[in-house]
A and B are shown apart, each in its own frame.
Chain A
Amino acid sequence: MEYGFPLLSSLIFLPVIGAIGLLFIPRKEELEVKRFALLIAILEFFLSLPLWFGFDKTTSLMQFVEKKEWISSWNVYYYLGVDGISVLFVLLSTLITILCILVSWTAITEKIKEFFAALLFLEGVMIGVFCALDFFLFYIFWEAMLIPMYLIIGVWGGPGRLYATIKFFLYTLIGSLLMLVGIIMLYLKGGHTFDILKLASNSYDFKFQMILFWTFFAAFAVKVPMWPVHTWLPDAHTEAPAAGSVILAGILIKMGAYGFLRFSMPICPQATQAMTVPMLVLSVIAIIYGAVICLGQDDMKRLIAYSSVSHMGFVTLGIFALNYHGLEGAILQMINHGVVTGALFLSVGIIYEQTHTREISDYGGLATVTPIFAGFFLVFTLASIGFPSLNGFVGEFLILLGGFTAKTWAGFLGATGIIIGAGYMLWLYQRVFFMKVNEKVAGVRDINLREIITLLPMLILIFWIGIFPNTFLSYMHVSVTHLLDQVNQNASLAQTGPQAFLETAIRLIGG
């Protein structure tokens, strides 16, 4: 489906051009720099609204498609489009970038111009990742993302930033490069094309699918991050500036899960089915391991970072449950996690700006000092736990439903993660906001209007998704069904025999 106006290209290139424009503003005009960056981000957000309103929910076809020949020698196309799986992430990216700019307003004091330029460049590239329908183009965006993120952590991060940023870079790079090998093999075998839809419609022999699955796994698992390749995440999260943590948690790590949905499952369906059990095991380990580690953290950002490992374990659990509920839950939970964890990092960033400490033991009694902030944080905490009527509940519920359907033990063990989750989050809240007022935080002012505006959209989304999840789920229904069809059909065609067809049918109806 074409769209008259090159909407996706504009979404990708508006921030990039904005970033270049920023570099020409004189260094002294700090306020102008910030205003300009904010203006671009807001424009970008409004520009992305047609995706929300103009999206056709009745089809699984790609929408807002743009296709131009780019590198004819390799048959590479500049090919963009969104479907029900990716559209929400584009919107989430444009929203979160605004909040990131707001939260950095006074927190960033050095090289302001460069910071906002990196942020805007990153935004454009991230949107590119979600829109690319050409594997080569996708890879370009995927890797180009590393450059601004490397700088954001390394230049504006905390004391341990140098170690954290190179660790982040090397982990991600080695995974991506292995995926590159897979991409090239696929290109050579799949008829010298990088067109993702075409590549997914071919069927490959099982051995080749397995090779592809593992090369993709290398890149996506690092990004998610799945246990045991998660160790870069706590460091990167902890040392990154608030905006960097928010983008990491909100969008970057979703790309791993998105990669599984967009590439691994449609291109190697049989391998995916064969590998569900190992993947479920890894997911469950991530859920429980991440949660248990959280209990032992004394750094707020590190705690939230490990909780991300646990929550992303839920997402991969939902994905590899390979049924309708699991998948929808996983995609919704990706959004939820972006909103909730993003909001938590925003909050920590806001308070850190005043106290300059992330140690939980330095806090205490904040609820009396900063009541409004405490209210916001409470909602975010409860959402993170999965409190009913808030967004986390819907996602986790769907995922566990899917998990129980697929493998009972996976659902059961996953559920224990929620219990531990309630433990560490409430304990965190107790230590920071209740108990005796710690003198280190006694003089802290409550959040101001800018900060309330920063947190409010997240609050609204938390309630909105929690109470009317269907607004969001309705975007993905058709695409998820189509994705499941692809996985099951391709796989069952290979198995042949009525038994397999019957199973597929039952799974489809039952799911």
Chain B
Amino acid sequence: MSNTFLLPVVSPLGPEIFLAGVACCLIIFDSIFKDQGNVLPIISISGAAVTILMVLSSNGLGFSGMYNVDGFSVFFKIICLLALIFTVLMSHNHLKVLEVKREGEYYSLMLFSCVGMMVMASALDLIVLYLGLELMALSVYCLVGIQKKDKRASEAAIKYFLLGAFASCLFLFGLSYIYGITGTTSLTGITKFLTGEGIKSNPAFLLGLGLVLIAFSFKVAAAPFHMWTPDAYEGAMTPVTGFMSVAPKAAGFAALSRLLFEAFPALHGNWVIPFEIMIFLTMAIGNITAISQVSIKRMLAYSSIAHAGYALLGLLPGTAQGVSATMNYLFIYLFMNMGAFAVIVLLQQKGLAGERLEDYKGLAKSHPVAAGLMLVFMFSLTGIPPTAGFIGKFNLFVAALNGGYTGMVIWAVIFSAISAYFYLRVVMLMYMHEPQKDVALVHSGTLSAVLAMALAGVLIIGIYPNDLLSLAGIALGR
């Protein structure tokens, strides 16, 4: 990505510092002023927008090589910031519908988690990576439990916290092994060490590597480390669920790809087989379990597990082509998944209403536009052209087949076909059943904006993907 337009080069950590500053301002503002109106979301969104501009113009190494702002990290940061903007737009009205107080905390936590993700995307040192990871995770735990009085939310937050903390421990544990053997936490240092010595088969080192990878599999919700996902997704407020399914996952993928390709490329042969098993399980569990869900949020939770499986497919061959396919996929996933969640938000009232699949019966008759949008997002998640979902999957399949992983691609294809069943069930309920009761929509201008952007993203990328494809290539410096 070209780095010198728009603003003069700011220090590599500039955008993160700025966004953290905005988050702090939100807290102060929240505690000083009683009648806030729309100011908090406006500050959050403009803060995020400015951060995007700053990210686009930031560049270079910082903190003696611990922090690297390159095209790769910029791409992921933009995914996270866009997800942030979408979520804030979705939340604004929804918070009122659900009567959630403490808007200030809500928005600032979201911004802080985004800072954490940005740090993760750029971290070139395992300790920095850990800092980013924790900042992100702690903020998201709180976001899940923001509806203090809702039992499901509290349960979800506790579960998410305990399992997330466990994952962090595994990360630190693995980190200690790696540090013990290589004597450094810097990724470049580790790479140098690996090329220098015949350490590859040292079991202690492999154990450390394995633990670190498991920790990140937790974060991207890959099976068999996905157990927290359905409960956390179901318990959280719907906009938060949408956010969680896109942004932390993207950050997890950023860290994972950086680890695999900058620190351990030499160990490709060691991690590739466990990875294949993991991808298979992720796709299988995600797609098959989603079939039997009755809550649309739980269904999308399993679907997001399945999509993590597809996205991991790009990392398998260990090529730049594969990584760029994964990056593209996450970018596309941002639009289609956020779109689907925005439709859910549209239907959701206080309590459980709008969360069960049954509530979608006959939606095409009562609210044709909402149903039409959901139709597009569901077909896109299935991967049917001419939507963006197809482009994303196609790209991943090309990369994986090019790497010679034909078997995995065939499995991915079979599970995609299975996934059609539960995505299309939503379409079936909307279009082929009679409405059972009146479903009132909660319209708001901001929500319509999210829906419009998501729809535009899904269709434009679906029909003319060239720009996005070349963008990811440029981001990787190709």
Contacts and interface: CB of A to CB of B under 8 A. Distances in A.
B120 to A, nearest CB: 28
Contact of B428 (A73, A166, A177, A185): A166
A177 B466 contact: no
Contact of B397 (A150, A166, A181): A181
Contact of A170 (B379, B386, B420, B428): B420
Given A146-B384, A184-B398, A185-B406, A74 B420 contact: no
A147 B469 contact: no
Given A170-B417, A180-B394, A181-B397, A72 B466 contact: yes
A181 B410 contact: yes
Interface size class of A (residues with CB under 8 A): 20 to 34
A178 B401 contact: no
A494 interface: no
A72 B470 CA distance: 9
Given A146-B384, A177-B416, A162 B390 contact: no
B440 interface: no
Given A143-B384, A185-B406, A162 B428 contact: yes
Greatest chain A CB density within 10 A among B379, B414, B428 is at B428
A185 B404 CA distance: 10
A162 B398 CA distance: 34
B452 interface: no
B384 A144 contact: yes
Contacts of B53: none
A73 B432 contact: no
A432 B456 CA distance: 53
B413 A177 contact: yes
A72 B473 CA distance: 12
B370 to A, nearest CB: 15
A74 B402 CA distance: 13
A140 interface: yes
Contacts of A174: 413-414, 417
A143 B390 contact: yes
Given A146-B384, A177-B416, A71 B465 contact: yes
A174 B409 CA distance: 13
B424 A166 contact: yes
B398 A150 contact: no
A21 to B, nearest CB: 16
Given A181-B413, A187-B398, A139 B465 contact: no
Interface string B11-45: 00000000000000000000000000000000000
A111 B432 CA distance: 11
Given A144-B385, A169-B420, A173-B420, A154 B428 contact: yes
A155 B431 contact: yes
B469 A74 contact: yes
A151 interface: yes
B379 A147 contact: yes
B421 interface: yes
B385 A180 contact: no
Contacts of B414: 174, 177
Interface in B454-470: 464-466, 469-470
Interface in A37-80: 70-74
A188 interface: yes
Contacts of A161: 432
Nearest to B401: A184
Given A161-B432, A166-B428, A169-B424, A140 B466 contact: no
A181 B465 contact: no
Given A151-B431, A154-B432, A177-B416, A143 B385 contact: yes
Contacts of A154: 428, 431-432
Nearest to A140: B385
A166 to B, nearest CB: 6
Interface string A249-277: 00000000000000000000000000000
A71 B469 contact: yes
Interface in A420-435: none
Nearest to B419: A173
Contacts of A187: 398
Contact of B417 (A70, A74, A162, A173): A173
Interface of B: 364-365, 379, 384-386, 390, 394, 397-398, 401-402, 406, 409-410, 413-414, 416-417, 420-421, 424, 427-428, 431-432, 464-466, 469-470, 473
Given A73-B469, A74-B398, A180-B397, 7 more contacts: A73-B473, A74-B469, A140-B386, A147-B379, A165-B432, A177-B414, A180-B413
7 contacts: A71-B469, A143-B384, A151-B427, A162-B432, A169-B424, A173-B420, A181-B410
Interface of A: 70-74, 111, 139-140, 143-144, 146-147, 150-151, 154-155, 161-162, 165-166, 169-170, 173-174, 177-178, 180-181, 184-185, 187-188
